[in-house]
């Protein structure tokens, strides 16, 4: 017979809500802790990934409250985005209505989970009170010259009918949301200058010891810093200087061609003077038509076309042909590459295909002498410089810096650092997002909406369409607005902001969510920020987690906050798996959290999730595992219920310290209680291994279950154990533990009672099992008094009959003794 979790959970949820139990206010006199889980998109209902995320965060929050900290634990909704729009198109429900309905439903679900949020602080990014400040932040970027408009080839998703930022193009050029191959389009779009922060974003990763190494590595890769040199080659007929960027300036003597991207500005000039203009034009068109998937595939056949023009190597005076090549990208470096086929595989493949000479300028360190005629692949490794004038004989490690140094002195090149990360494209041709607060005027150009006129409200009547144009442009009433500068008729910016903007600063807003005067209160942010513990999925490693760092640095530079990093500790939880695959609707392997909570209760769901795997691992969903967790809670319930009288008898009696317990059985019970407290505390606080913490509590329950107290002394001890079990289990299963705590005669609720502390004296064992090895193999075990020193331990081990028998006729070489652990006898013969 199961305990009545339905009634109990409702009861305590009601108590917490009406009592504001988990509301937190800034209090400079108290140590704070900011515990945050990534806020959900209100897609309709919580899924298991959410349940896991919020179970982890809630358990930690409750633990930290009990440790005496002032804990900020807020939640909100990342409420702008495509699904609302799609739902609007499909079911003819306004996006706002759909979204707000989901928000209310999911709020109810979070409450049913027993989550300890400060609900006063809930924010929704689609709320004008919120996006007013999203727009304000955009204006600050604009003011600082960090927001700008540019016409450029941008990533376009046909299915989402909008552009995407580089970070949002994943899996070989596909849309992060719908997996559709992305194409390039030329559009005038808004960008944020995240590249201004590239170096700091990279450097500060070293100041984040609380982040998983792999997330930091992913960000380093994404930022992609490279050191090299910029140098120009003069085109012989026009005298035009064509700039290139190289990380291998030491190969400058090996340049045998120059390759331009099809979009390179000089290509137009070439067409105007070249007799081959038609042919070249056709090639350029073909390149442009290739999707970014085709163009960025490493195995793709390299194609090029001779332009008939030539350029001169400023170092050697040699001249060589200029080509246009499909493997040269316009948006990295200068869009032009110096071709060194002997030492770059791509250049090599290209040169062989088009009969361009290969000129080695580095020989391998093993003494081999390369021959450009017969080489079958490029030599890209380090070696000894050759065919390079007075630099011959230098090893690569010295050649690169020394040759750049020389080039800079001679005025041939400049040192340059390049980044792979690009400026953040934030325009979206969508309806359900924060409007970009700009009015276009024929006279004044793009004019920012004055701050006092914010928010630029999103009209709720607009019907989003599946087509390509920005839906807002179709709202005549909305789109027409006077120029804020000159008052003449103008048109509003019809694009909305990338929703990743909204989620880049919500953790600041939580600090003062109802502030209608400022983006956030400096004082409140100074107290709460940075977030001490952030919990979420790893899929945001190069998206949200970079953007949020960028915004935080920008706020610091505006003087709004001192924090230069938003998240001190990051926990990336694994996925929830079933039948070997991530839960997904298309695979039909989803388990509905509502059903689990209805059938077993929130405590059971939370316990299973935390017990089944360490938080970083993928979690294999198992209904039998859930039943196991439920069985455990029923046993806890019975342990208290069946011993209620006894527990009440013992209430109020002072605990018996270890030194006053004589009987071994009682001393052992006491030790187990405190060993459990000690281990659970360490697992939660230090190791972040919640599965083993639960295992220790299961052991404690098993021990209590077998204890069967009779004497008054035993009853006091039993009560101590039951109390410890409930107190330690409370952050995991807050409802059932709270109910049992009350039932067993405690006045005050558990939630805010101090976390139990292990008694040092009670952790020491009286006797220990020592293992006796002979030549490293376990041969005997013996219970000895704890703390025997080496010599005595050896003595007693050798006296054991089993050991003595085995050692007969053997010569003892040496004996290793580890107190309280083992004795290893090394023998010969």
Partner RNA sequence: GCCGGGGUGGCGGAAUGGUAGACGCAGCGGACUCAAAAUCCGCCGUGGGCGACCACAUGGGGGUUCGAGUCCCCCCCCCGGCACCA
Reduced to 3 states, what is the DSSP secondary structure of residue 725?
helix
Q: Closest Cα to residue 197, out of 567, 562, 548, 561?
A: 548
Q: Which range in 94-102, 311-319, 333-341, 670-678 contacts RNA by CB under 7 A?
A: 333-341
Q: Which range in 153-161, 307-315, 423-431, 632-640 contacts RNA by CB under 7 A?
A: 632-640
CA distance 721 to 729: 12
Q: Which range in 89-97, 221-229, 467-475, 720-728 contacts RNA by CB under 7 A?
A: 221-229
Shorter beta-carbon distance to RNA: residue 585 or 777: 777
CA distance 195 to 543: 14
Among 268, 618, 757, 766, binds RNA (CB under 7 A): 618
Shorter beta-carbon distance to RNA: residue 89 or 538: 538
Build a one-symbol-per-residue string for 155-174: x at contacts with RNA by CB under 7 A, - elsewhere: ---------------xx---
By CB under 7 A, tell whether 89 contacts RNA: no
Q: How far apart are the first and last CA of the chain?
A: 63
The footprint of RNA on residues 9-48 (CB under 7 A) is none
By CB under 7 A, tell whether 769 contacts RNA: yes
By CB under 7 A, tell whether 576 contacts RNA: no
By CB under 7 A, tell whether 369 contacts RNA: no
Shorter beta-carbon distance to RNA: residue 94 or 614: 614
CA distance 546 to 498: 14
By CB under 7 A, tell whether 213 contacts RNA: yes
Burial 269-295, CB ≥16 within 10 A → b, else e: ebbeebeeeeebeebbeebeebebbeb
Shorter beta-carbon distance to RNA: residue 173 or 435: 173
By CB under 7 A, tell whether 195 contacts RNA: no
Q: Which residues pair with 415 in a beta bridge?
A: 229
By CB under 7 A, tell whether 584 contacts RNA: no
Shorter beta-carbon distance to RNA: residue 672 or 735: 672
Cβ–Cβ < 8 Å for 683, 692: yes
Q: Closest Cα to residue 826, out of 781, 773, 786?
A: 773
Helix axes 602-612, 623-641, angle to 10 degrees: 120
Q: Which residues pair with 501 in a beta bridge?
A: none
Q: Which range in 67-75, 745-753, 757-765, 813-821 contacts RNA by CB under 7 A?
A: 813-821
The footprint of RNA on residues 227-266 (CB under 7 A) is 228, 245-248, 261
Q: Which range in 87-95, 97-105, 215-223, 710-718 contacts RNA by CB under 7 A?
A: 215-223
Q: Which residues pair with 322 in a beta bridge?
A: 258
Shorter beta-carbon distance to RNA: residue 330 or 473: 330
Cβ–Cβ < 8 Å for 173, 292: yes
Among 44, 181, 628, 749, binds RNA (CB under 7 A): 628
Tokens read off for 123:
């924010």
Cβ–Cβ < 8 Å for 657, 640: no
By CB under 7 A, tell whether 525 contacts RNA: no
Cβ–Cβ < 8 Å for 348, 254: no
Among 198, 205, 324, 337, binds RNA (CB under 7 A): 337
By CB under 7 A, tell whether 691 contacts RNA: yes
The footprint of RNA on residues 556-575 (CB under 7 A) is none
Among 209, 389, 706, 829, binds RNA (CB under 7 A): 706
Q: Specify the DSSP element, H or E, that contains 304.
A: strand 304-312
By CB under 7 A, tell whether 771 contacts RNA: yes
Q: Which range in 213-221, 387-395, 725-733, 751-759 contacts RNA by CB under 7 A?
A: 213-221
By CB under 7 A, tell whether 117 contacts RNA: no
Q: Going by C-beta distance under 8 Å and a sequence separation of 6 or more, which residues neighbour residue 485?
A: 441, 444, 447
Among 699, 713, 742, 792, binds RNA (CB under 7 A): 699
Beta 76-77 vs 123-124: how paired, if at all?
Answer: parallel
Q: Which residue has the tokens 């600063």?
A: 505
What would you report as the CA-atom Rg of the chain, rounded to the nearest whole angstrom?
34
By CB under 7 A, tell whether 296 contacts RNA: yes
The footprint of RNA on residues 298-317 (CB under 7 A) is 298, 300-302
By CB under 7 A, tell whether 335 contacts RNA: yes
């Amino acid at each position: 017979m199961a305990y009545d979790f339905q009634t109990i959970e409702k009861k305590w949820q009601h108590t917490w809500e009406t009592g504001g139990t988990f509301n937190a206010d800034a209090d400079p006199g108290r140590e704070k802790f900011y515990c945050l889980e990534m806020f959900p998109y209100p897609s309709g209902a919580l899924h298991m990934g959410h349940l896991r995320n919020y179970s982890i965060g809630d358990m930690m929050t409750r633990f930290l409250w009990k440790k005496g900290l002032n804990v900020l634990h807020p939640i909100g909704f990342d409420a702008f985005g495509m699904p609302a729009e799609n739902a609007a198109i499909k079911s003819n429900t306004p996006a706002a209505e759909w979204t707000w309905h989901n928000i209310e439903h999911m709020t109810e679900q979070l409450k049913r989970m027993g989550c300890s949020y400060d609900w006063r602080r809930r924010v929704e990014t689609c709320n004008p009170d919120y996006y007013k400040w999203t727009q304000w932040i955009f204006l600050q970027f604009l003011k600082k010259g960090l927001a700008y408009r540019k016409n450029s080839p941008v990533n376009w998703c046909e299915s989402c009918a909008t552009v995407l930022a580089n970070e949002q193009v994943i899996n070989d050029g596909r849309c992060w949301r719908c997996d559709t191959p992305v194409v390039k389009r030329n559009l005038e779009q808004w960008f944020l200058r995240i590249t201004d922060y590239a170096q700091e974003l990279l450097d500060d990763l070293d100041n984040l010891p609380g982040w998983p190494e792999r997330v930091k590595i992913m960000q380093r890769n994404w930022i992609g810093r490279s050191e090299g040199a910029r140098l120009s080659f003069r085109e012989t007929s026009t005298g035009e200087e064509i700039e290139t960027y190289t990380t291998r300036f030491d190969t400058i003597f090996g340049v045998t061609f120059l390759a331009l991207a099809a979009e390179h500005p000089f290509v137009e000039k070439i067409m105007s003077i070249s007799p081959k203009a038609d042919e070249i034009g056709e090639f350029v068109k073909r390149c442009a038509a290739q999707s970014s998937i085709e163009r960025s595939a490493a195995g793709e056949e390299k194609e090029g076309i001779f332009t008939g023009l030539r350029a001169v190597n400023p170092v050697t005076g040699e001249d060589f042909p200029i080509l246009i090549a499909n493997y040269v990208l316009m948006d990295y470096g200068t869009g032009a590459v110096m071709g060194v086929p002997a030492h770059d595989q791509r250049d090599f493949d290209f040169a062989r295909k088009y009969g361009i000479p290969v000129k080695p300028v580095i020989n391998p360190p093993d003494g081999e002498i390369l021959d450009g005629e017969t080489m079958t692949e490029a030599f890209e490794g380090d070696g000894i410089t050759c065919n390079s004038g007075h630099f011959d004989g230098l090893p690569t490690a010295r050649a690169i810096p020394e040759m750049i140094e020389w080039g800079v002195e001679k005025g041939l090149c400049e040192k340059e650092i390049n980044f792979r990360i690009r400026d953040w494209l934030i325009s979206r041709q969508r309806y359900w997002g924060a409007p970009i607060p700009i009015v276009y005027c024929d006279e004044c150009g793009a004019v920012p909406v004055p701050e006092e006129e914010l928010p630029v409200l999103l009209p709720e009547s607009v019907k989003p369409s599946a087509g390509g144009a920005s839906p807002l442009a179709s709202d005549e009433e909305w789109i027409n607005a006077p120029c804020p500068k000159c008052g003449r008729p103008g048109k509003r910016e019809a694009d909305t902001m990338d929703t990743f903007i909204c989620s880049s600063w919500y953790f600041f807003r939580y600090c003062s969510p109802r502030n209608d005067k400022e983006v956030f209160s400096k004082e409140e942010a100074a107290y709460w920020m940075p977030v001490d513990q952030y919990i979420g999925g790893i899929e945001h490693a190069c998206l949200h987690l970079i953007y949020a760092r960028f915004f935080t640095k920008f706020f610091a530079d505006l003087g709004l906050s001192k924090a230069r990093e938003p998240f001190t500790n990051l926990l990336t939880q694994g996925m929830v798996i079933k039948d070997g695959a991530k839960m997904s609707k298309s695979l039909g392997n989803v388990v509905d959290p509502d059903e689990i909570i209805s059938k077993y209760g929130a405590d059971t769901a939370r316990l299973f999730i935390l017990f089944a795997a360490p938080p970083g691992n993928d979690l294999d969903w198992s209904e039998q595992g859930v039943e196991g967790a439920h069985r455990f809670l029923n046993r806890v319930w019975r342990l208290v219920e069946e011993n209620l009288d006894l527990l009440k008898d013992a209430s109020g009696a002072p605990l018996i310290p270890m030194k006053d317990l004589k009987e071994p059985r009682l001393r052992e019970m006491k030790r187990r209680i405190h060993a459990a407290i000690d281990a659970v505390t360490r697992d939660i606080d230090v190791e972040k291994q919640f599965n083993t913490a639960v295992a220790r509590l299961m052991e404690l329950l098993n021990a209590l279950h077998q204890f069967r107290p009779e004497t008054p002394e035993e009853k006091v001890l039993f009560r101590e154990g039951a109390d410890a079990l409930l107190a330690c289990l409370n952050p995991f299963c807050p409802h059932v533990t709270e109910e049992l705590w009350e039932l067993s005669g405690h006045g005050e609720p558990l939630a805010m009672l101090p976390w139990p502390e292990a008694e040092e004296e009670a952790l020491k064992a009286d006797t220990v099992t020592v293992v006796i090895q002979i030549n490293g193999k376990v041969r005997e075990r013996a219970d000895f008094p704890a703390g025997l020193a080496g010599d005595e331990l050896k003595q007693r081990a050798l006296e054991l009959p089993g050991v003595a028998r085995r050692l007969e006729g053997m010569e003892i070489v040496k004996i290793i003794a580890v107190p309280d652990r083992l004795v290893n006898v090394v023998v010969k013969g």
